[in-house]
Chain A
Amino acid sequence: MMKSKADEEDYWNSSKFKAFTFDDEDDEFTKLKESRQAVNSICGLVEEEEDEDEVEKVSWSGEPVGSISWSVRETASSLREQSFPKIDTTPSLPKNSSGYSLSSLFKGKEGEREMMDCADYVSDWSPEETVHRMQQGKAVSLEKFRSLQEKLLLLDEAVGVHDGNVITAVLIYLKKSLSKEVLFRELESRQTALRHFIHYLTESKEQRLLLELYRALGRTEDEALLQYKEHLRITDENKRRDFLKSCVSLPFSPEDAGHVQDHYTLLERQIIIEAETGGKVEIFQKFPRRASILNMPLITTLYYCCFYHYAETEGTYSSPANIRQTFRIAEKQYFVTALAARAKLKAWHDVDALFTSRNWLGFTRKKSPLSFSRVADILSKNNAPVQVLQEYVGLVDDVELRVALAQKYKCHFIVISTYRDLKDRQLLLGYRGKVERGSEEERKIDELLSNPQIRWKN
């Protein structure tokens, strides 16, 4: 997600470090010297304190060392008591009380730490101590946790301190030292650990084991999805199609199963359509394709077919009607896509035909599953001429919206006729100033204004 961003500094080319721009201009040499001093002081400390226990004190996550301004220790008065109360972090705790009393402040286990640091034998460390050491990044050996009970105690302890790093570390050890069956069985009742394990397997790309895990847990839908995801790795379209075909029978949820079936059918179809891009066909020469249709979404495919294969009969695989039927595309969706494609080609006649329907008396009228204001919007975005636009703007039912759109798209006659229908002389007079002088629109307005038959309301 973050690594291969296209917007990454492209000037940062390997080894051309001169392009390394930094924004801090106040980084002067004096500060560098401070850094140097600071570093020197750290080196001193580190060399003195070789043993593990001491190193802890100079760890940077804890006591900050290195910066001159506050690495001075002499004023340090140690405050070792626990000053904040422990809170319950167990997962299912929706209604815990909020105010914690100060009496709970001193529950800490003070002696424990010392004891643990003195322990000479690795084997003496309890699960608790082991986890604690792991949290601090100290060396531990997990080999001594041999019985299942010990292993699980260790795991539960890690889960108890909410340190995902340690949880995963323990899981890696359990993965090595337990059979899959036993591990899976124990993870089933340990949701937090289970999620860590799944994430670890995902990140280390241990696909097969993860599938086995899902299977063992009866999580069939996850298993199916994970298997389906594999298709993304296959670049050859024929192999990918065959793989998708094999996915169809996986135990998806009913809804997803339909999608996956469609995915297979679509790719199969796309492979056929892709083969039909013969150079002899005029439209492909006039509007060369910018990309292959393979692996494009369904709607893109429909658009493509409306663009390049519009006139084909329903029998062909690439005809829009066939696509529409095969994939049960909703009427509205079909209209939007076909409209966009034909408008792009400025095939206004097709647009007209798309919305024209005949009733039983043979009269034609305009019908649309999407609002005519939308139709007008799509047409205008494709630079449709006013003559085309006004036909659809005129069909907008809502008067206010119709006038607003007509003004926006400069369909003057629509504005004029709407004002006439409203019998609003004032508005019409006002609009006269907006149309071009001496134009047909102006003449039309004058004609209306002088028409004695109209009973103006103002």
Chain B
Amino acid sequence: MSERDSPELPDFSVLKRLARDQLIYLLEQLPGKKDLFIEADLMSPLDRIANVSTLKQHEVDKLYKVEYKPVVSTSDQLCFLIRPRIQTVKWVCDVVNADKAAGKFKRYKIIFTPQKFYACETVLEEQGIFGDVSTDEWAFYLLPLDEDIINLELPEFFRDNFLEGDQRWVRTGGSALHLFHSIYGPFSKVYGIGRCSKMVYESWREQVKEGEQKARQAEVGTVFLIDRDVDFVTPLCSQVVYEGLVDDIFRIKCGCVEFGPDVTSSDKSIKVMLNSQDKVFNEIRNEHFSNVFGFLSQKARNLQTAYDKRRGMDIKQMKTFVSEELKGLKQEHRLLSLHIGASESMMKKKTKQDFQELLKTEHSLLEGFEIRECISFIEEHINRQVSMIESLRLLCLLSLTENGESNQFSNNLNSAWPCQSYGVDHLLTFANLKQLGLLVEQQPGETLTVMESKMGKLVNDKTAGKLTDAFSSLAKKSNFRALSRRLSLVPKSDEEYDLRVPRDMAYIFSGAYIPLSCKLIEQVLERDGWTGLEEVTRLLNGHEFAVTGSNGADLRPQSDAQRIILVMFLGGCTFSEISALRFLGRERGYKFIVLTTAITNSARLIEAMLDNHV
């Protein structure tokens, strides 16, 4: 397909300003000097939208991190900026009750973000301080991380929704979408797949119905909602595109990464913002890691040449050079050495852990090839007590791609050996992985058919059908192999794949696999709906939808707004998926905006399931 000019992305800086203004307003609701306690995981998001002088301007005296310890503040006004979590609210209650017992009288305010929950207010009530503490909501839903990434910064969305079955964040998702819609909409098309996506869509629709909407020119016209549990395989794979790899190894936090001494080749660490503002990073972030070295060294040579121009310059030329070019060169120099350092450090780490062999195993699993070898690789990982997260990740990948059928090779793999190597405490972790469907214990296929046929004899057809549905959702079959065939997710391995000139989204996994999530998006956009994908949606357990709005929204498919597509990932997305979408956008003349509840990767996904702690 021929490349088209991609449309311009809307400006998201307004979202930051909005969030800041709201926070200021809330701070002013507690006039006078006050100390501010901030929940640890809200600090980075706050960093992105405000700074100390903003807070000082509004009479914040001292800043503290919420640490679940007694408070040392001497201020007579305390403000708590927290997530709506029972544990945190209980701590606030302790603080207030301790003050009361000591005969201190202070004013307290809790600002919940992005919203408050009844369960939290119940805690205040139960602890006898309802009324002593005023509460507010800071509707800080959308944090732009980059020109095409907006983050809700709610990593717990994943576990709460998919593991615990708690729908507390559904409305939050709807509200986030609503906020986006009211600024950049109106949307004219919404596609989606997944139970949570449907609920979020409904919540959003209700909120649109309740509110008012100005007639305006849409900047973003198409939306795609997708649940993380539609595709667990993709986030469980090792990332090999630069940005994803940096995230896997150094953990990018809220768009910022901390490079240690091994990268900076000095004795201190530095924090670096990774986004499109960083010119060097912007050129390599979506590249397969194997291309990055070549690119960086070419860049370094160019830089050298640019510096070398100085030689033989006269004073006047030198003056122009210094005033016009030198600063840029120095900046580029700094960035280059940083990313070269990071690449070297990543190479070292990966060589040490036999990355090549690990990737080979992953690719075999995706391809369904040499499974026995894969299993012994995983087995050895476990036996040698190599990183637990890594072992669990591979086990889940095996279970998902083989749909639990690998058990015929080894029935000690799914808990006995991991328990021996990593501790029996992980029984609870295993229960979680099974509950989520990441680990399947026995062949559900057989068990189900037996159940169904038994049931089928007892009840009439209609009920039997319902039962089948219920069972299939229970078993959470992954059907990966069938999906992979139907959507051609695994390119033929006998063909050479040139990673420098990627031909499809598979390049983000070294040409071994096209991410299922992104492939679905591609297919639905291409078909303008789910028509022709019936078998695929059946294999994904349904819950797909495609709806069209009216209201004079711009429906011409060629218009810019229609070619800017908001993809909302419920439960998180990886940098690799974002890279794949950017690639798809370049190929098809779209621009994708990713709205995600959090940036995830395999380690975060598995860590969210760990339950070996109090």
Residues of A at the B interface (CB closer than 8 Å) are 1-5, 7-9, 12, 14-15, 17, 20-24, 27, 31-32, 34-36, 38-39, 42-43, 56-57, 59-64, 66-67, 69-70, 75-89, 91-96, 98-100, 102, 105, 108, 113, 134-137, 161-169, 172, 191-192, 195-196, 198-200, 202-204, 225, 228-229, 232-233, 255-256, 258-260, 262-263, 266, 295-300, 327, 329-330, 332-333, 336-337, 340, 370, 374, 378
Note all chain B residues with C-beta closer than 8 A to A113.
Answer: 210
Note all chain A residues with C-beta closer than 8 A to B470.
Answer: 92
* A21 in complex: contacting residue of B47, B198, B541, CB < 8 Å: B47
Note all chain B residues with C-beta closer than 8 A to A255.
Answer: 415-416
Of the A-B pairs whose beta carbons lie under 8 Å apart in the complex, a sample of 21, sorted by A's number, is A1-B155, A12-B43, A14-B65, A15-B62, A20-B63, A35-B54, A39-B25, A42-B21, A62-B207, A63-B182, A64-B179, A87-B201, A87-B547, A102-B548, A164-B171, A167-B167, A172-B119, A256-B427, A266-B424, A297-B385, A332-B383
Give the residue name and chain of the A residue nearest to B607 (CB).
A1
User: Is residue B447 contacting chain A, with contact meaning CB distance below 8 A?
Assistant: no
Interface residues of B in 566-614 (CB under 8 A from A): 607-608, 610-614
Note all chain B residues with C-beta closer than 8 A to A296.
Answer: 423
* A196 in complex: contacting residue of B20, B165, B531, B549, CB < 8 Å: B165
Note all chain A residues with C-beta closer than 8 A to B51.
Answer: 20, 22, 24, 27
Note all chain B residues with C-beta closer than 8 A to A99.
Answer: 529-531, 546
A262 to B538, CA, bound (A): 43
Q: Say yes or no: B165 contacts A192, CB within 8 Å.
A: yes
Note all chain B residues with C-beta closer than 8 A to A98.
Answer: 529-531, 537, 544-546
Q: Say yes or no: B182 contacts A64, CB within 8 Å.
A: yes
User: Is residue B132 contacting chain A, with contact meaning CB distance below 8 A?
Assistant: no
Residues of B at the A interface (CB closer than 8 Å) are 14, 17-18, 20-22, 24-25, 28, 39-41, 43, 47-54, 57, 62-68, 72-73, 85-87, 115-119, 122-123, 137, 139, 141, 155-156, 159-160, 164-171, 175, 178-179, 182-183, 186-187, 190, 195, 198-199, 201-203, 205-215, 251, 253, 256, 258, 271, 273, 380, 383-385, 412, 415-417, 419-425, 427-428, 431, 466, 469-470, 472-473, 529-531, 537-538, 541-551, 553, 607-608, 610-614
The answer to whether A100 and B548 touch (CB under 8 A), given A39-B24, A204-B119, A232-B613, is yes
The answer to whether A203 and B179 touch (CB under 8 A), given A84-B190, A94-B543, A336-B384, is no
A177 to B72, CA, bound (A): 39
Note all chain A residues with C-beta closer than 8 A to B52.
Answer: 17, 20, 22
Q: Considering residues A22, A60, A80, A135, which has the most beta carbons from chain B within 10 angstroms of its beta carbon?
A: A60
A91 to B421, CA, bound (A): 39
Note all chain A residues with C-beta closer than 8 A to B419.
Answer: 259, 262, 297-298
Note all chain B residues with C-beta closer than 8 A to A300.
Answer: 385
Note all chain A residues with C-beta closer than 8 A to B423.
Answer: 295-297
Q: Say yes or no: A43 contacts B25, CB within 8 Å.
A: yes
Q: Say yes or no: A162 contacts B199, CB within 8 Å.
A: yes
* A164 in complex: contacting residue of B40, B169, B542, CB < 8 Å: B169
The answer to whether A203 and B548 touch (CB under 8 A), given A17-B62, A62-B178, A92-B469, is no
Q: Say yes or no: A89 contacts B21, CB within 8 Å.
A: no
Give the residue name and chain of the B residue nearest to A166 (CB).
B118
Give the residue name and chain of the A residue nearest to B117 (CB).
A165
Q: Say yes or no: B550 contacts A100, CB within 8 Å.
A: no
Which 10 A-B pairs have CB atoms at the shortest separation, nearest pair first?
A164-B168, A94-B542, A164-B167, A169-B118, A195-B165, A22-B51, A263-B424, A60-B139, A162-B199, A98-B530
Note all chain A residues with C-beta closer than 8 A to B183.
Answer: 64, 70
A172 to B86, CA, bound (A): 13
- A275 CB, min distance to chain B CBs, angstroms: 21
Q: Say yes or no: A94 contacts B21, CB within 8 Å.
A: no
A14 to B70, CA, bound (A): 12
Q: Say yes or no: B613 contacts A14, CB within 8 Å.
A: no
Note all chain B residues with C-beta closer than 8 A to A167.
Answer: 167
Note all chain B residues with C-beta closer than 8 A to A42.
Answer: 21, 25
A300 to B118, CA, bound (A): 45
Q: Say yes or no: A163 contacts B608, CB within 8 Å.
A: no
* B175 in complex: contacting residue of A3, A61, A67, A168, CB < 8 Å: A61
A199 to B170, CA, bound (A): 15
A32 to B549, CA, bound (A): 38
Note all chain B residues with C-beta closer than 8 A to A105.
Answer: 550
Note all chain A residues with C-beta closer than 8 A to B24.
Answer: 35-36, 39
Give the residue name and chain of the B residue nearest to A13 (CB).
B65
A66 to B444, CA, bound (A): 54
Note all chain B residues with C-beta closer than 8 A to A79.
Answer: 186, 212-215, 551
- A223 CB, min distance to chain B CBs, angstroms: 12
Q: Say yes or no: B167 contacts A162, CB within 8 Å.
A: yes
Q: Say yes or no: B160 contacts A199, CB within 8 Å.
A: yes
Q: Say yes or no: A12 contacts B421, CB within 8 Å.
A: no
Give the residue name and chain of the A residue nearest to B61 (CB).
A17
- A104 CB, min distance to chain B CBs, angstroms: 9
Q: Say yes or no: B72 contacts A14, CB within 8 Å.
A: yes
A8 to B53, CA, bound (A): 22
Note all chain A residues with C-beta closer than 8 A to B383.
Answer: 299, 332-333, 336-337
- B402 CB, min distance to chain A CBs, angstroms: 20
Q: Say yes or no: A164 contacts B170, CB within 8 Å.
A: yes
A200 to B57, CA, bound (A): 39
* B420 in complex: contacting residue of A4, A96, A199, A333, CB < 8 Å: A333
Give the residue name and chain of the B residue nearest to A167 (CB).
B167
Note all chain B residues with C-beta closer than 8 A to A24.
Answer: 47-49, 51
Note all chain A residues with C-beta closer than 8 A to B213.
Answer: 78-79
Q: Say yes or no: A87 contacts B545, CB within 8 Å.
A: yes
A373 to B206, CA, bound (A): 63
* B208 in complex: contacting residue of A14, A83, A136, CB < 8 Å: A83
- A406 CB, min distance to chain B CBs, angstroms: 18
A2 to B466, CA, bound (A): 40
The answer to whether A35 and B258 touch (CB under 8 A), given A66-B22, A94-B538, is no
Apart from A161-B202, A330-B412: 12 A-B pairs, beta carbons within 8 A? A5-B40, A23-B271, A62-B182, A66-B21, A76-B214, A83-B550, A86-B202, A89-B198, A203-B87, A225-B427, A255-B416, A259-B427
* B167 in complex: contacting residue of A196, A233, A340, CB < 8 Å: A196
Q: Say yes or no: B65 contacts A66, CB within 8 Å.
A: no
Note all chain B residues with C-beta closer than 8 A to A229.
Answer: 428, 611
A163 to B167, CA, bound (A): 6
- A68 CB, min distance to chain B CBs, angstroms: 9
Q: Say yes or no: A199 contacts B166, CB within 8 Å.
A: yes
Note all chain B residues with C-beta closer than 8 A to A163.
Answer: 167-168, 170-171, 203
Give the residue name and chain of the B residue nearest to A31 (CB).
B17
The answer to whether A168 and B117 touch (CB under 8 A), given A7-B251, A32-B57, A95-B542, is yes
Q: Say yes or no: A12 contacts B65, CB within 8 Å.
A: yes
A172 to B201, CA, bound (A): 27
Give the residue name and chain of the B residue nearest to A204 (CB).
B86
* A8 in complex: contacting residue of B40, B115, B214, CB < 8 Å: B40
- B121 CB, min distance to chain A CBs, angstroms: 9
Q: Say yes or no: B205 contacts A84, CB within 8 Å.
A: yes
Note all chain B residues with C-beta closer than 8 A to A31.
Answer: 17
Q: Say yes or no: B469 contacts A94, CB within 8 Å.
A: yes
- B57 CB, min distance to chain A CBs, angstroms: 6
A298 to B117, CA, bound (A): 42
Q: Say yes or no: A2 contacts B545, CB within 8 Å.
A: no
Q: Considering residues B41, B51, B470, which has the most beta carbons from chain A within 10 angstroms of its beta carbon?
A: B51
The answer to whether A298 and B420 touch (CB under 8 A), given A89-B202, A168-B168, is yes
Give the residue name and chain of the B residue nearest to A244 (CB).
B424
Q: Say yes or no: B21 contacts A82, CB within 8 Å.
A: no
The answer to whether A38 and B21 touch (CB under 8 A), given A78-B212, A162-B170, A228-B427, is yes
- A141 CB, min distance to chain B CBs, angstroms: 13
Give the residue name and chain of the B residue nearest to A29 (CB).
B53
Q: Say yes or no: B541 contacts A94, CB within 8 Å.
A: yes
The answer to whether A297 and B166 touch (CB under 8 A), given A17-B62, A22-B52, A113-B210, is no
Give the residue name and chain of the A residue nearest to B66 (CB).
A3
Give the residue name and chain of the A residue nearest to B41 (CB).
A2
- A121 CB, min distance to chain B CBs, angstroms: 22
